[in-house]
Structures are given as C-alpha cells and as structure tokens.
Amino acid sequence: MTSSFDPSMFLDASISEPTVKRPPLPVGDYLGVIGEVTARAWTGKKDPSKSGIAWDIPLTVEIPAEIQSQLGLTQGTLQMKDSLMLDITPNGALDNAPGRNGGLRRYREACDLNKPGDSFSARQMTGKVVKVKITHELYLDEPVERISGVTKS
C-alpha cells in the first residue's frame, strides 16, 4: 500500500496567523518519562582541543491541568531534553571514581539503578519516571526553560 501524502506540499502552504511563542513552564518540579538516550561526541567551541562524550536524554514532561489552563496549552505533555557531559578515564571508559559523573549518578539514583552489584547501561533508563526540576535561564532577555535537576518520582 502506497501513501499519496506529499510532505513537500507544506512548502506551498499559506497561513495568515502569526506563529506564537509558548510561555515557559513555571519554575518547579514535574514528572517526566525518559525516552531513548543517545550518545554524541562533542568538541569545544571556544577551545577545540577539548572534546568528549555526552548523553542526550529526552524527557516527556507531564504538565498538570492547572498549568495547562494557566498557560493556554492544548497538550498535557511537553518534549524536553537534558544532556550529560560524561567524565571518561584515559582508557576511554566511564569514570566511576568518587565525585566523577555526578549528573550520571543523579539519573541512576532517580531511576533506582545505582545499587551496589547492579549492572547499568543507559538504555535501562528508557521508560523510567523521574521528577525533574524546571528552572529558567535568560536567553536574549527572554526566560527559557531548563532541566536543572532530577530525582526519584
């Protein structure tokens, strides 16, 4: 069965309403479901001699009904992304020494995957429900949402 849908038709689509920015979520704690974690290599923009590995963590954040109403949102969830810069050993492994990979430790603890003797991989976080702290950063004098913390739900 073939589809007759042509995505290029949107190139000629005409709309008369302006595209409106969504107000940021209020600062606070929200429940989020972790999606499929992906890995990427990064290189420093200011200092290209610095590089490493990061994990990008997509989260489906649940928006309480009263906040949906207050902000005029039509959906009950928002897609957000958090990223972890990983500490790597000189041998190329995750650095699990005390004090290293704090962000990873917080995600593991939030997912109840940081117990002695347990084996762990990033894929085990997929589908786990966690509590995320949403804060605001200013970008071009406008508040922008940011995930600033994670803990058990």
Residue 31, by phi and psi: left (phi above 0), alpha (psi -120 to 50) or beta? beta
> Does the structure show a pLDDT above 90 at 1?
no
- pLDDT, one tens digit per residue, over 22-38 is 899 999 999 999 999 99
| Percent with pLDDT over 90 in the chain | 82
Q: How far apart are CA 150 and CA 37, in angstroms?
A: 15
Q: Letter for the amino acid at 96?
A: N
- pLDDT, one tens digit per residue, over 45-80 is 999 888 899 999 999 999 999 999 999 999 999 999
- Residues facing residue 38 across a β-bridge: 56
Average pLDDT of the residues of the chain: 93
Confidence of residue 136 (pLDDT cuts 50, 70, 90): very high
- pLDDT, one tens digit per residue, over 36-47 is 999 999 998 999
Structure tokens at 121: 């991989």
Strand, coil or helix: what is 33?
strand
> Does the structure show a pLDDT above 80 at 2?
no
Strand, coil or helix: what is 61?
strand
pTM of the entire predicted model? 0.86
- pLDDT, one tens digit per residue, over 89-131 is 999 899 999 999 999 999 999 999 999 998 999 999 999 999 9
